[in-house]
């Protein structure tokens, strides 16, 4: 069974992450899947490269999930994020949240995704027709 | 050599710190644009006793001039916990210099 909070060089499967949180008492499981898009800020993107301070990122994931548990009535959250070079359409991040009911699961999932963009030590380089740039903003 | 407190040392410019106290070893981690600018992912820095995270970055900008234009919006983590720029370092610490994050 893979770790609940993980930075991975290997491809991420949505079902793997949602299985980590699915328990018999959880009636609502919300899964967010972030994929590599072919454009950003009006320019075309051909690939992304993620770099991570993995050991810190995994502890930040755990901290954000603990905050989500304190704010919303959820049972369990799992966060997996890729590192390395990804092609268009590949999964960059999966956040799965389980709760007894759907409301807290949706809210907690949105909270976790918003927080990890600015607090997890992960960086992305966009490759396009006119070269490669490190992204320094949070759309 | 006269020993002074780290607070007192703070009033001196970095280039005279070496005269004040024996140095500490800090392992500095660079990522993304900073890693490319410095050409290294990890660097063993000799820093003065009492040095703070932001002081070490200033010192590193002299060692790695290409880091200078990227330094203004860096954040810091000591031993994997994000800290304020004025946080003091201790011998053997790992200091991560963090460019603006962009996960997800």
- Which 3-state string (H, E, C) describes chain A? CCCCEEEECCCCCHHHHHHHHCCCCCCEEEEEEEECCCEECCEECCEEEEEECHHHHHHHHHHHHHHHHHHCCEEEEEEEEECEEEECCCEEEEEEEEECCHHHHHHHHHHHHHHHHHHCCEEEEEEECCEEEECCCCC
Query: B25-98 sits in which CATH class?
Result: alpha beta
Contacts of B75 (CB under 8 A, 6+ apart): B82, B98, B100, B101
Residues of A with CB under 8 A from a CB of B: 34, 50-53, 55-57, 59, 81, 92-93, 113, 116-125, 134-138
Report the share of chain A in percent with pLDDT over 70: 98
Give the model's pLDDT for residue A68.
98
Nearest chain A alpha carbon to B75: A121
Give the model's pLDDT for residue B59.
96
Number of Cβ within 10 Å of residue B84's Cβ equals 11
Rg, Å, chain B Cα set? 14
Give the model's pLDDT for residue B78.
98
Q: B91 with B25: CB under 8 angstroms?
A: yes
Q: Kindly give the pairing relationship between strand B75-78 and strand B94-98.
A: antiparallel
The SS3 call for residue B29 is strand
Number of Cβ within 10 Å of residue B16's Cβ equals 10
Average pLDDT over residues A3-7: 97
If you average pLDDT over every residue of chain A, what do you get?
95
Give the model's pLDDT for residue A79.
98
Domain chopping of chain B, boundaries: 25-98
Give the model's pLDDT for residue A130.
86
The maximal CA–CA distance of chain A, rounded, in angstroms, is 51
Q: How many residues does chain A have?
A: 139
Over chain B (104 residues), the average pLDDT of each successive run of 10 is: 51 62 91 97 96 97 97 96 97 97 92
Q: How far apart are CA A12 and CA A84, in angstroms?
A: 12
Q: How far apart are CA B6 and CA A138, in angstroms?
A: 38
Nearest to A58 by CA among A78, A85, A76, A32: A78
Give the model's pLDDT for residue B21.
64
Nearest chain B alpha carbon to A132: B33
Rg, Å, chain A Cα set? 15
Report the share of chain A in percent with pLDDT over 90: 92
Give the model's pLDDT for residue B22.
75
Choose from B28, B41, B74, B101 for mutation: most chain A CBs within 10 A. Answer: B101
- Per-residue model confidence as pLDDT tens digits over A36-94: 999 998 899 999 999 999 999 999 999 999 999 999 999 999 999 999 999 999 999 99
Nearest chain B alpha carbon to A124: B102
The torsion defined by the Cα of A43, A47, A53 and A55, in degrees rounded to 10, comes to 130
Give the model's pLDDT for residue B2.
42
Token digits of residue B9: 């040392």
DSSP B52: B
């Amino acid at each position: 069974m893979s770790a609940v909070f993980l930075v991975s060089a290997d491809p991420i499967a949505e079902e793997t992450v949602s299985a980590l949180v699915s328990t018999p008492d959880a009636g609502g499981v919300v899964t967010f899947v972030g994929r590599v898009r072919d454009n950003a800020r009006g320019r075309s993107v051909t690939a992304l490269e993620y770099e991570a301070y993995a050991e810190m990122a995994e502890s930040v994931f755990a901290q954000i999930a603990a905050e989500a548990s304190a704010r919303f009535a959820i049972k369990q959250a799992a966060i997996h994020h890729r590192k390395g070079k990804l092609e268009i359409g590949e999964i960059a991040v999966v956040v799965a949240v389980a709760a007894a009911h759907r409301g807290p699961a949706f809210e907690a999932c949105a909270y976790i995704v918003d927080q990890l963009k600015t607090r997890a030590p992960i960086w992305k380089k966009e490759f396009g027709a006119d070269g490669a740039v490190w992204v320094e903003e949070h759309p | 050599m006269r020993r002074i407190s780290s607070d007192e040392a703070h009033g001196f410019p970095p280039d005279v710190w070496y005269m004040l106290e024996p140095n500490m070893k800090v392992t500095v981690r660079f990522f993304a644009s900073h890693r490319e600018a410095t050409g290294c992912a990890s660097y063993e820095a000799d820093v003065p006793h009492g040095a703070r995270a932001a002081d070490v970055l200033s010192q590193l900008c002299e060692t790695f001039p290409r880091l200078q234009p990227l330094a203004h919006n860096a954040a810091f983590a000591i031993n994997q916990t994000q800290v304020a720029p004025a946080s003091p370092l201790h011998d053997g610490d790992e200091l991560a210099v963090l460019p603006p994050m962009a996960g997800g």
